[in-house]
């Protein structure tokens, strides 16, 4: 489906961002970035029709089916 392809592309970009910026002291930054991407995706999916067609509960069900990549630390600079 189109949505599956979109989520796959977003996940590839998220994982690349998390791998590059995912160092020990940057956990707040990458979690904030992941949250902003999630909000923007909700906004974009809600623009598909003139009325608001997607609620946060519906978006949560959608991300259960097509999960977004989670922010995580890839490099520990202390050990």
pLDDT of residue 14: 97
Q: Is residue 9 part of a domain?
A: yes
Cα–Cα separations (whole angstroms), residue 19 to 1, 34, 43, 50, 77: 27, 13, 25, 37, 13
- The number of folded domains in the chain is 1
SS3 per residue for 20-39: HHCEHHHHHHHHHHHHHHHH
Give this prediction's pTM. 0.86
What domain range includes position 23?
Answer: 2-65
* pLDDT at 2 exceeding the cut of 80: yes
Burial class (CB in 10 A: 0-12, 13-18, 19+), 45: middle
Q: Is residue 79 part of a domain?
A: no
pLDDT in tens, 3-55: 999 999 999 999 999 999 999 899 999 999 999 999 999 999 888 767 778 89
Q: Is residue 17 part of a domain?
A: yes
Query: DSSP H helical segments within the chain, as ranges?
Result: 2-21, 27-46, 56-65
pLDDT of residue 71: 94
Residue with tokens 């630390």: 73
Q: Is residue 54 part of a domain?
A: yes
């Amino acid at each position: 489906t189109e949505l599956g392809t979109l989520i796959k592309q977003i996940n590839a970009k998220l994982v690349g961002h998390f791998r590059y910026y995912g160092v020990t002291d940057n956990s707040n930054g990458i979690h904030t970035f992941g949250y902003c991407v999630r909000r923007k995706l909700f906004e974009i999916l809600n623009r598909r029709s003139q009325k608001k067609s997607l609620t946060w509960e519906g978006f949560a069900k959608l991300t259960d089916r097509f999960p977004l990549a989670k922010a995580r630390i890839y490099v520990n600079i202390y050990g």
